[in-house]
Amino acid sequence: MNEKNDKKLCCCALPAGDCEYTPQHDDDRELAQLAKALGHPARVTILRLLMARSECICGEICDQIPLAQSTISQHLKMMKEAGIIQGEVDGSRICYCVNRTVLARLKALIGQL
- Contact call for residues 95 and 56 (beta carbons, < 8 A): yes
Please tell me the distance from the alpha carbon of residue 5 to that of residue 75, in angstroms, as a whole number: 41
pLDDT in tens, 73-97: 999 999 999 999 998 887 888 889 9
- Contact call for residues 82 and 33 (beta carbons, < 8 A): yes
pTM comes to 0.74
pLDDT in tens, 21-45: 565 677 889 999 999 999 999 999 9
pLDDT for residue 1 is more than 50:
no
